[in-house]
Structures are given as structure tokens and as C-alpha cells.
């Protein structure tokens, strides 16, 4: 009887003695008047890394999006354009605030929102565009910024999955009216759960700062006096301490993700029917989630991939289902490319410590599927 194969997980964080030291220091020392020390430091260090003026830690990327949209005054009667291919976290804040999401198709080359589809979807009710940088791939920010400027719309970057990606030299999250990041346990940089709001707009920053603190304005002299109804999407100092250590290693973490994607590209280089995360000349892809998209001619489907990986004791994630097909949005027909690509794609295991042998084992599952029938 052959021994059972060790399961290959799709992701887990990279934690070293540096993270353990920072967290232990926070647990021991950051209480009372020092309870915000790591939070303040992380906000400053993250803004400096990104090259933006302001940053606010949050409990999640979803919380950061909610705060930013609320600060812009987006609500009932407003429309927000977003790609049909996305996780629900990117659109839930729009709905919770009472606005209407408008789903548009993706560019089949980038898997991100298609600027031409955005142009066609704009109405007098449109207030914002949410540009989600999917799996480390980048939206066409040049085109989207021009559209936003011409129509007086807020261009928002959801950079949850794109920490370290660059568009024409500019880091993802540094180009919109505001941007948000995720530090979930699956992300390149993690705080377990957590996120970040960033902006260069001082007025917007002050508005979000107030909303994020239960509606208490900066400079309010009364203790426990909210000036308006706000939110609580806070990060703890212990999470922030973990984040500071991760940020200190961010180039190492991103570099390792890029190495993993490169290995997969080499392993699949013999197949014209397989496309992995694109990296055009003006883009540096942080490679957060290496993803394989199979051509329609290959005949490979999501269901075939899931079954094959499960049989091989390998975790794999599905490409996001189109939002328009979800029951909560009426289970409509998907936008063409959003539906087509999702039906023939898979996210591949890519944790930082994955070995070449493990990546080869992942590739062999696909090799078998690609064999002539």
C-alpha cells in the first residue's frame, strides 16, 4: 500500500522570528497610552512605502472600502461601476451603502475591468469606478484615469491582491482617489485579518479618519463625544505589529511570489493553450495568485480541474464566479468574458515555502489533463 500523499495547500503566510518578536513586544509593552504605537507606525511606514500622503489601518479591505465610499457620500440613487469578475467583498460595501453596482465585462488579456465597457456603462447616476487589480494583475489605469477625469468620477483602486504590482513604475494603490488593501491570511503581506485605506486627498483622509473612529472628529475636546454616526473597522496594535514586520520584508515576500509564478510559466511553457498572469511591458506583476486560464479549444473545464486536483491531494481555488450570476444579485447571465474565463481557469498553490518539487507535482496534474484523449 502506497503512503498517502502530503496535501499541498494553496496558500499560507510566511512568518519568521521577526514577526514573532514584533508581536511579542506589542503584547508585552503596548497597552495604556502606548496602545496605538504599532498602528501609528504601520500607517506611516505603509504610506511611505506606497508613496502616498495618508494611510489608515482597518479591520479588512472591505471595511476600508466602506469607509472610503461613505466618505465620498455614495449612497441611494448612485451607481458604481465594477467588473463582473470579483469576489463579493469588493462590491458588498456599495450595496450596504444603498448604491447600485453596475457590472461590466473584463478584458480577456488582463482579467480586470475593461475600460471600453466602463465608458459604455456611464450614466448621469454614475459616481465612481472601482478598479480591482485581480490576482496581482493590473487594470489599465491610464485609460481609467482619463475616463474618470472626463466624467468627474471617483476612481477607486481595490489593491487587495496587488501589493507590489506596478503600472508604469507606479505602485498599485497610489493612483486612485483612494485605494484599499487586504492583509488577510492569504495575502502576500498579512496581519491575520486586516486592511488599509490610503489616499493623497487630505480632506478625504480627515473624513475617513472621523468615520473610522465612531464619528469622532479630530480635535474634539469632549471625551466619548461622537460628532456623527460612524463605524468601527479598527485594527489592533498586535495585528499592526505583525504587519510592521511583514512590511519590513515586503520586497522579499513579493520577490518570492514572482519566483513561484516564473516557475509555473516555465513548467507550462510547452502549452499554447495555457495562459498565466500577464505582465506586459509597462507592468510589474506582484504575482499574488498564480492562475492558469485554459483556452476554449483545450476542452479543460473548472470542474475537471477541481476533480483532478482533489484526487491528487492538492488544494486549488476556483477563478471568481461572475458577480452577476450570484443569487444575491438576481442570478443573471454573466458578462461574456467573465463567464467564459471563470469556467476554464484555476488558481494554483503559491505559498512562499512551496518547493520546486511541489510545483512540479501541481504541473503533473495538468500534464495528465492535457494528454491527447
Distance of alpha carbon 285 from alpha carbon 177, whole angstroms: 22
Distance of alpha carbon 56 from alpha carbon 2, whole angstroms: 52
Contact between 80 and 128 under an 8 Å Cβ cutoff? The reply is yes
Distance of alpha carbon 189 from alpha carbon 173, whole angstroms: 15
Give the range among 2-16, 41-55, 164-178, 232-246 with minimum mean pLDDT: 2-16
R_g over Cα of the chain: 21
Contact between 292 and 366 under an 8 Å Cβ cutoff? The reply is yes
Residue 4 has pLDDT above 90, yes or no: no
Cell of 56: 489608515
> Whole-model pTM above 0.85?
yes
pLDDT range class, residue 244, cuts 50, 70, 90 = very high
Parse the chain into domains and list their residue ranges.
Answer: 17-248, 250-370
Mean pLDDT over residues 127-143, rounded? 98
Q: Model confidence over 191-216: pLDDT tens digits? A: 999 999 999 999 999 999 999 999 99
Residue 36 has pLDDT above 80, yes or no: yes
367 class by beta-carbon count within 10 Å (0-12 exposed, 13-18 middle, 19+ buried)? middle
Q: How far is CA 156 from CA 111, 240, 326, in A?
A: 17, 24, 23
Cell of 202: 487630505
Cell of 352: 512562499
> 250-370 sits in which CATH class?
alpha beta
Mean pLDDT over residues 331-358, rounded? 97
Residue 372 has pLDDT above 90, yes or no: no
CATH number for the region 17-248 comes to 3.40.640.10
Cell of 125: 447616476
Q: Model confidence over 310-326: pLDDT tens digits? A: 999 999 999 999 999 99
Q: Collapsing DSSP states into helix, strand and coil, what is residue 145?
A: helix
Same fold, 17-248 and 250-370: no
Amino acid at each position: 500500500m502506497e503512503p498517502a500523499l502530503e496535501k499541498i495547500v494553496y496558500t499560507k503566510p510566511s512568518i519568521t522570528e521577526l514577526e514573532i518578536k514584533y508581536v511579542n513586544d506589542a503584547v508585552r509593552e503596548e497597552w495604556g497610552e502606548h496602545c496605538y504605537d504599532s498602528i501609528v507606525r504601520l500607517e506611516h511606514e505603509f504610506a511611505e512605502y506606497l508613496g502616498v500622503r495618508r494611510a489608515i489601518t482597518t479591520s479588512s479591505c472591505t471595511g476600508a472600502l466602506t469607509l472610503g465610499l461613505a466618505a465620498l457620500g455614495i449612497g441611494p440613487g448612485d451607481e458604481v461601476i465594477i467588473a463582473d469578475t470579483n469576489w463579493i467583498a469588493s462590491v458588498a460595501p456599495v450595496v450596504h451603502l444603498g448604491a447600485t453596482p453596475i457590472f461590466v465585462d473584463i478584458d480577456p488579456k488582463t482579467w480586470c475591468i475593461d475600460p471600453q465597457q466602463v465608458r459604455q456603462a456611464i450614466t448621469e447616476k454614475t459616481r465612481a469606478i472601482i478598479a480591482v487589480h485581480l490576482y496581482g494583475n493590473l487594470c489599465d489605469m491610464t485609460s481609467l484615469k482619463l475616463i474618470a477625469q472626463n466624467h468627474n468620477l471617483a476612481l477607486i483602486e481595490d489593491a487587495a491582491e496587488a501589493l507590489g504590482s506596478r503600472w508604469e513604475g507606479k505602485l498599485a494603490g497610489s493612483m486612485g482617489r483612494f485605494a484599499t488593501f487586504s492583509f488577510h491570511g492569504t495575502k502576500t503581506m498579512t496581519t491575520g485579518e486586516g486592511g488599509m485605506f490610503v489616499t493623497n486627498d487630505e480632506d478625504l483622509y480627515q473624513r475617513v479618519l472621523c468615520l473610522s473612529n465612531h464619528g469622532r472628529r479630530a480635535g474634539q475636546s469632549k471625551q466619548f463625544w461622537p460628532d456623527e454616526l460612524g463605524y468601527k473597522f479598527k485594527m489592533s496594535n498586535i495585528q499592526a505589529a505583525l504587519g510592521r514586520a511583514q512590511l519590513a520584508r515586503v520586497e522579499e515576500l513579493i520577490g518570492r511570489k514572482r519566483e513561484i509564478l516564473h516557475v509555473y510559466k516555465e513548467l507550462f511553457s510547452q502549452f499554447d493553450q495555457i495562459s498565466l498572469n500577464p505582465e506586459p511591458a509597462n507592468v510589474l506583476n506582484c504575482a499574488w495568485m498564480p492562475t492558469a486560464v485554459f483556452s476554449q479549444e483545450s476542452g479543460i473545464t473548472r470542474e475537471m480541474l477541481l476533480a483532478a486536483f482533489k484526487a491528487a491531494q492538492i488544494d486549488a481555488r476556483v477563478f471568481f464566479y461572475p458577480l452577476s450570476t450570484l443569487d444575491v444579485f438576481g442570478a443573471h447571465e454573466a458578462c461574456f468574458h467573465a463567464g467564459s474565463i471563470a469556467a476554464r481557469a484555476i488558481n494554483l498553490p503559491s505559498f512562499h515555502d512551496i518547493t520546486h518539487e511541489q510545483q512540479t507535482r501541481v504541473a503533473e496534474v495538468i500534464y495528465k489533463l492535457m494528454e491527447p484523449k
